[in-house]
Amino acid sequence: MKSASPVDRGSENEAAQDSRGQTATKEKSMGMVVISGSGLWKPEEFVTNKELVSSYNEFASRFNAQNADAIAAGTLAEKPQSSSDFIVKASGIRQRYTYRKEGILDVERMRPLLSVRADDELSHQAEIAVHAAREAMEMAGRTAKGIDMVIVSCAYTERAYPAIAIEVQQALGIEGFGFDMLVACSFALHRAHDAVAVGSARCALVINPELITPQVNFKDRDSHFIFGDVSTAMILELADTCTAPHSYEILATQAVTQYSSNVRSNFGHLSFASDSDPFADDKLFCQDGRKVFREVCPLTSEHLAALLRNSGMDVSDVRRWWLHQANIHMNQLIMRRLLGREPNFDEAPIVLDEFANTASAGSVIVFHLYHEDLMAGDTGVICSFGAGYSVGSLIVRKR
């Protein structure tokens, strides 16, 4: 399904729609919404490719030895060895931050060891959300009093309810309302933008507390290296109220979704009733990486081309591309399709080597780390893409 997320600001707007039904809206001055702050929290602990591969290979060797007869009889597949060189070459990833490293490299465990927190303690995910939120609030010069909407958007929330966003709201002393969304950052930024634009919120805090390593299958050679943990945040408010030193007008937003099971986790509340194993492999991150690569790159580059076209802009008008950090070849291919040449780091920064894929947080990480050098009037694009499939983007201009 393809859907558009137009923003209607009355006669001051210029909205354009292309043949695929994607809509971008270019705003002029009235009710202009800005990004006024961003925050990034990363764990102290990280796992290098070398550590990860060494642990996986030991696990695979033990598995193969323990199941030698079945493997020889052809009833069980041998576990192949992983390689650091392959990981760097295929993905650009050299390490990943881990909220808890303990347990991940333990061949008898192969998953992080997290404590169970009591119901009256701050949850793991709310804790990392608060870290990133505080930095974004500081950058925007906003206290809790000035914020009235909190959105937590990420690949997983650690429980169904109460919403992590509401817990964060309480921890920070924010009045108003909050909710969780299981989708990439741009979709949450769109919701925040629209709420501030129409006045249902004055100032929104959007947080991406990505605790992904607990859902990674570290026994699967094809995907054990892809994800890392991190937390990011952004503040959105009206340009009129913004006093931040670095702020960005949101000129246009656009979103598209297209159903696919090629990135999937079957983890969910039905496991209890369906008598299926809640810890089976299909309840962890699963993907057909080649198909994802083949299908998401054209979807994203066409989406971005349409966004610019519908906004009356050209790719050459964009000073910086803050793209989701999925895989270095995906990011390069998307940019090549747009620019007709290789992008350089200054145009489209990459942080995969340090952070790996951090789902909804990836494009916010690159924005946070690489925006202060832009000059007033410079234009950039924030774009997230991935599971769903879902692609969302925003055109922003430095004030």
Q: Does the protein bind ligand CO8 through residue 86 (CB under 6 A)? A: yes
CA distance 33 to 14: 16
Select the residue interacting with ligand CO8 from 103, 141, 146, 289 (CB under 6 A).
Answer: 289
To ligand CO8, the closest distance from the beta carbon of 219 in angstroms equals 12
Helices 289-310 and 328-339 sit at what angle, rounded to 10 degrees? 30
Q: Does the protein bind ligand CO8 through residue 327 (CB under 6 A)? A: yes
- Strand segments, DSSP code E, in the chain are 14-17, 23-26, 33-41, 46-48, 95-97, 149-153, 177-181, 203-210, 230-238, 248-257, 263-264, 286-287, 320-323, 379-386, 390-398
To ligand CO8, the closest distance from the beta carbon of 89 in angstroms equals 8
Q: Does the protein bind ligand CO8 through residue 285 (CB under 6 A)? A: yes
Contact 206, 151 (CB under 8 A): yes
Given the residues 154, 185, 297, 383, the one annotated as active site: 185
Q: Does the protein bind ligand CO8 through residue 356 (CB under 6 A)? A: no
* Paired sense of beta strands 33-41 and 46-48, if any: unpaired
Select the residue interacting with ligand CO8 from 57, 67, 83, 276 (CB under 6 A).
Answer: 83
User: What CA–CA distances, in Å, run from 359 to 60, 127, 186, 387?
Assistant: 27, 18, 11, 9
Q: Does the protein bind ligand CO8 through residue 90 (CB under 6 A)? A: yes
To ligand CO8, the closest distance from the beta carbon of 297 in angstroms equals 9
Select the residue interacting with ligand CO8 from 186, 357, 363, 379 (CB under 6 A).
Answer: 357
Q: Does the protein bind ligand CO8 through residue 293 (CB under 6 A)? A: yes
Q: Please identify which residue in the block is written with the tokens 């030895």.
A: 65
Q: Does the protein bind ligand CO8 through residue 15 (CB under 6 A)? A: no
Q: Total residues contacting ligand CO8 (rule CB under 6 A)? A: 26
To ligand CO8, the closest distance from the beta carbon of 330 in angstroms equals 6
CB-wise, 151 or 359, nearer to ligand CO8?
Answer: 359
Q: Amino acid letter at 375? A: M
Select the residue interacting with ligand CO8 from 104, 352, 359, 364 (CB under 6 A).
Answer: 359
Q: Please identify which residue in the block is written with the tokens 């369906």.
A: 274
Q: Does the protein bind ligand CO8 through residue 208 (CB under 6 A)? A: no
Tokens describing residue 114: 């997290």
Q: Does the protein bind ligand CO8 through residue 326 (CB under 6 A)? A: yes
Contact 218, 104 (CB under 8 A): yes
DSSP string, 297-317: HHHHHHHHHHHHHHTT--GGG
Select the residue interacting with ligand CO8 from 37, 92, 343, 386 (CB under 6 A).
Answer: 386
CA distance 234 to 36: 8
Binding to ligand CO8 (CB under 6 A) within 210-239 occurs at: 212, 215, 221-222, 227
Q: Does the protein bind ligand CO8 through residue 155 (CB under 6 A)? A: yes
Helices 124-140 and 164-172 sit at what angle, rounded to 10 degrees? 50
Q: Does the protein bind ligand CO8 through residue 52 (CB under 6 A)? A: no
Nearest to 22 by CA among 332, 256, 221, 238: 256
Q: Which stretch binds ligand CO8 (CB under 6 A): 84-92, 235-243, 345-353, 367-375?
A: 84-92
Tokens describing residue 205: 């805090």
Q: Amino acid letter at 219? A: K
CB-wise, 182 or 305, nearer to ligand CO8?
Answer: 182
**Is 383 noted as a catalytic residue in this protein?**
no
- Residue positions annotated with a catalytic role: 185
Interaction site with ligand CO8 (CB under 6 A): 82-83, 86-87, 90-91, 155, 212, 215, 221-222, 227, 263, 285, 287, 289-290, 292-293, 326-327, 330, 357, 359, 386-387
